[in-house]
Amino acid sequence: MNSLTFGSTVPFTAMTRPLRLEHLYLQYLHLQVCHPLQFIMHLLIDFTLLLFLCTQANSAATDAILAGQALTVNDKLVSKNGRYALGFFSTSSSKPSQDTTNWYLGIWFNTVPKFTSAWVANRDTPIKSTTALELTISHDGNLVILKRSTKSIIWSTQANITRNSTTAMLLSSGNLILTDSPNSAEVLWQSFDHPTDTLFPGAKLGWDKVTGLNRKLVSWKNLIDPATGVYCHRLDPSGVNQLLLTPLNSSIPYWSSGVWNGKYFLSIAEMTSSNQVSNTTFVHNDQEKYTVFNLVDESLVTHFAVDISGRLKQSIWLESSQDWTMIYAQPKLQCDVYAICGPFTICNDNELPYCNCMEGFTITSPEDWELEDRTSGCSRITPLECISNKSTKCPKVEAAASPNECAQICLNNCSCTAYSFNDEKCSIWHNELLNIRALQCSGSTCSTGETLNLRVSAKDFHRLTNNRKGIVIGVATGAGISALGLCALFLLVMIWRNRRKSSSHTLDGVQGCNRIIAFRYTDLQRATAKFKDKLGAGSFGSVFKGFLNDSVAIAVKRLDGAYQGEKQFRAEVSSIGAIQHINLVKLVGFCCEGSKRLLVYEHMSNRSLDVHLFRNNSTILSWTIRYQIAIGVARGLAYLHEGCRDCIMHCDIKPENILLDDSFIPKVADFGMAKLLGREFSRVLTTMRGTAGYLAPEWISGVAVTPKVDVYSYGMMLLEIISGKRNSSASCSSGGNFDVYFPVHAAHKLLEGDLGSLVDQMLHGDVNLDEAELACKVACWCIQDNELDRPTMGQVVQILQGLVEIRMPPIPRHLEAMA
């Protein structure tokens, strides 16, 4: 087990026998009755002792070290607000038999019972022994870690100080500063200028142009080692006003924030929300260039850091769960982090663990992987006889007319690790393979992809083919193998970059992509009994029930209209065909023959949400089911907006497009109007789409839109889930001779605290009113006029789950004008 300990709360002068006030009170009663004079003497002595001990107890919570004082391993400084502590802490090896305890000076969250480091002074110079170790002010005025037995300095602030008497103080912001005196405004040195992996609220990230100081965050090496890791968060060194995540020794980013537009970074959609936990500022002048964030609620305890997985994460401490809850992460996908799994690995965002060795390879350092440091990757089980030290990060393109010729080029080169042949191009890799990942089809195309042929030893080749039936292998034959002997055979192991080879088959073996079946039209005619059982119809076509192999129920959507059908068909296949989520309807396959366009989905036995909300002859959904449907739809949309490689805007969220399975789990369906939005863009200009009554006001104004149009539609639908009636038909009397549009009525009733009149009367009061109030608040925030005031779908999920508090929303002005 990994262990992590930190300094205790013993004060500078340890108390061996704490004095309890009730003991004094008992002494007082006894002496007052029996010994009046002696009572006065004892009372004076006890009062003096109590005053002394209280003074000593206060020293336990001191926030400063003065000249001549020292902080030992059992001591700590505590900021005046009690939030942060500074002291010595230790980390130990995962193997108890090994005495590899390392000690560090650091700052941690004092009010959080789960030890969480925020700053480490000597991250790359751990201390092996704590004998006669102390933190003190040296003769030159610097703060130092001193080994008293040898008078040697282990760590120092190394500030250019001309004074020999200074004070070290831990501020309420978590900043450790060195000043001329406790009341001095001049800061001689501060920990905020030397961050490790964590950014404190109020701390700057960026450059001091005068001194050349560059403040950046660098991840820990692993779970128990705070040494300099391999990932860095910093301002773009090229001069562009944006933030980057890069490997520490490279300026090439694997994630960027987008350019600062004066209010927020363009690629961080969370910054446009009105329900942010923090506010960000960007400063650029002649002396400095930096960004800084401050908490909206100062009582919130938040941890904002680059973790060892190379992702930028922000978490908040929840007292209810006694744990950190992540509220933000970039990049969204773990496999987007550069070389996160190390060489000769395959990264898969849809699996845990997400890193796995390629065939013929084994984990290089299991101990490091146990501590979540996988950058060492995997090594060959059986070394190759011929290999050179040449290594390239990118493939070299060779001239080859066929796959066999490309294979021969690789076989003739001892340094060749793998090859691929695609689009008449032969690509050769040398030595280490990095950033290999398994991905689903994405974007507007869905092809069979590019196959990477990996070089393995003959011994491993035979072992793999004997142990794994059905593996697809390609064996190079001819003079090349004779010349190289056991040096190389090739094993077909995976798909390269953004594409994946299909392993799916139709009834007659027709292949599609991403396990999506490419059906023949006759197959679907037979499956649906010539489109006999019609489930419903929409603006783009009709839906029919069918069966595959006479057992698996499917829903077949037949698109009508040449131009519209083609456009809708491409949109649906390219969007939902590339994603999988429990709250998104699964696309089984498609048919594309001549002018015929059909889409095949999994069949939802409980039909669509509107059937249960608005039709009296159907099942009345309980409040519990409605609330879970609201959360499920929010999760599905959050995945579309934030979890996919490209942001997908659904553009037509309404009850008709929410399907329910056997357990009433909601599935977002009908992606015919979906719009892909690349991660490098924050909004897109597109034609109006969607359904009246669910359209966000920005659609009507014709401006470029964002995923917040889906948030608006979701809010309108959520009101219908609550009321059980159409917003357009659920008008309510205002007390006069006219009716009030239901969303406006709901906003007013929410402010008045009258939830009972808003909830579906068919539930007969069997409602969790706390959840109903929360749902109403969420709905009203989602339909705000300004898209910046609406939450993201990820925030909606957190709010509905009770993880994030939400205040009372204002009444949307554009809706109030309709009243």
Question: Catalytic amino acids?
Answer: 652
DSSP class of residue 353 equals: S
Residue 615: partners with Cβ closer than 8 Å, 6 or more residues away:
none
| Spatial distance between the Cα atoms of 723 and 710, rounded to a whole number of angstroms | 20
Asked if residue 557 belongs to a known ligand binding site, the reply is yes
Distance CA 95, CA 367 (A): 9
- What is the separation of C-alpha 468 from the centre of its chain, rounded to a whole number of angstroms? 35
For residue 318, which phi and psi values (nearest 5 degrees)?
Answer: -105, 120
- Backbone CA torsion sign across 788, 792, 796, 798: negative
Which residues, other chains included, contact 69 with Cβ-Cβ below 8 Å and sequence gap of 6+?
12, 136, 137
**Buried b / exposed e across 252-268, counting CB within 10 Å, b at 16+?**
ebbbbbbebeeebbbbb
Q: How far is CA 304 from CA 181, 238, 488, 786, 803, in A?
A: 31, 24, 47, 28, 17
Residue 78 · residue 62 · CB < 8 Å: yes
Number of CB atoms found within 10 A of residue 405's CB: 13
Cα-Cα end-to-end distance for the chain: 63
Under DSSP, the state recorded for 286 is: S
| Dihedral in degrees, nearest 10, Cα atoms 783, 787, 791, 792 | 120
How would you list the strands of the sheet with 167-170, edge to edge? 64-65, 167-170, 176-179, 187-190
CA dihedral 294→297→301→307, nearest 10 degrees, is: -40
Contacts of 661 (CB under 8 A, 6+ apart): 604, 605, 606, 667
Picking from 300, 325, 323, the residue whose alpha carbon sits closest to that of residue 315 is 325
Long-range interactions of 752-757: CB distance < 8 A, separation 24+ = 757/732
Count CB atoms within 10 A of the CB of residue 487.
Answer: 17
Residues in binding site for ATP: 557
